[in-house]
Amino acid sequence: MRKLLNTLYVTTPDAYLAKDGENVVVKSDGNEVFRIPIHNIEDVICFGYMGASPQLMQLCSDNNVGLSFLTPQGKFLARVSGKTRGNVLLRRTQYRTADNDLASLNIARSFIIGKIINCRVVLGRGLRDHGSTISCDKVKSASANLIKNLDKIGGCDDIDSLRGIEGNCAKLYFDAFDELILKQKTDFFMFERNRRPPRDNMNALLSFLYTLLANDVQSALESVGLDPYVGFFHTDRPGRAGLALDMMEELRPFLADRHALTLINLQQIGKDDFHQKEDGGVVMTERGRKIVLGSWQKRKQEEITHPYLNETINIGLIPYTQAMLMSRYLRRDIDGYPPYLMS
């Protein structure tokens, strides 16, 4: 199994990235503030506008290290990628499959089945651990309706019908999600999922975590030779990493949603870590981003047993294992794509 390396998160707004030998160097006001050997990391994510030197970009490219740029608020700007890796025959198979409506539908079903099951597990854990303090009826009703929608997936004969089921399930899940927020209820709540921009602290936190997850999934897909921009469920759109968004569907509940709940319920993050802009949108402060990034990196080091592979892996390797399983399915090494299912 692949070794999990660190991701370098650069949050200083005026930071500039440069190369010194085989090292990534972070500079601020012309002074070196940090350096790390390129071989110790697998991704660099920079929150700011100062950028990086062409030499540093080449160093990352030559060593298969992803380099992404986001705004200070966490909105994706650009990604620098090196030479396309993997077998060209695999990508040809991916493109042919994406152009086949039935084949795409079969894979998309797996993504959404995984998402619905994992959403039910998140709700179920809330009932199990906090049944005496939350509205059990509301959570149980949402869970029951998720099952009803799950049963309909087998009868979907086109991708639009599947998207309709996914949309219904997302609404059911987030309608009950507020019950899982146990602390700081005045400052964190979920009345509805909103974005672009998020209008409250909870949605701002989720959007930030989803951005981190999207980057991890895209890196994983590229590492196994798949094209992250050609998916099976999300509509093709220029600049949209469709396959990364597809694979995120099954991973959001475990990797992002539960992490957000932990941060809030353990009061590791609070209202002072968010800021409301003049247009009503809510963004995280620099301190808030650092808290989330630190906890995100720490959680990626935790170990779980992968339900399909039956191997002990770091949580941070889940996107890679799912990308690997997708490539094996497209090569017809396995009979179907097995989504990641929470236990």
Q: What is the pLDDT of residue 343?
A: 81
pLDDT in tens, 125-161: 988 888 777 778 889 999 999 999 999 998 888 999 9
Nearest to 74 by CA among 191, 199, 197, 243: 197
Asked if the domains 6-80 and 88-330 are classified in one and the same CATH topology, the answer is no
Nearest to 264 by CA among 178, 342, 137, 198: 178
| β-pair type (312-314, 6-10) | unpaired
Residue 83 exposed, middle or buried by CB count within 10 Å (0-12, 13-18, 19+): exposed
Cα 17 to Cα 69: distance, rounded to the nearest angstrom: 11
pLDDT in tens, 68-121: 887 776 677 777 776 666 678 899 999 999 999 999 999 999 999 999 999 999
Cα 320 to Cα 332: distance, rounded to the nearest angstrom: 18
pLDDT in tens, 205-231: 999 999 999 989 998 898 788 999 999
Which class is domain 88-330? mainly alpha
When pLDDT is averaged across residues 318-325 and rounded to a whole number, the result is 92
The confidence band for 3, taking pLDDT boundaries of 50, 70 and 90, is low
Q: What topology is assigned to 6-80 in CATH?
A: Ribosomal Protein L15; Chain: K; domain 2 (3.100.10)
Domain ranges of the chain: 6-80, 88-330
The region of weakest confidence among 58-67, 204-213, 289-298 is 58-67
Nearest to 282 by CA among 124, 75, 142: 75
Predicted TM-score of the model (pTM):
0.85
Cα 135 to Cα 278: distance, rounded to the nearest angstrom: 35
Token digits of residue 13: 């707004």
Cα 142 to Cα 77: distance, rounded to the nearest angstrom: 36
Q: What is the pLDDT of residue 85?
A: 60
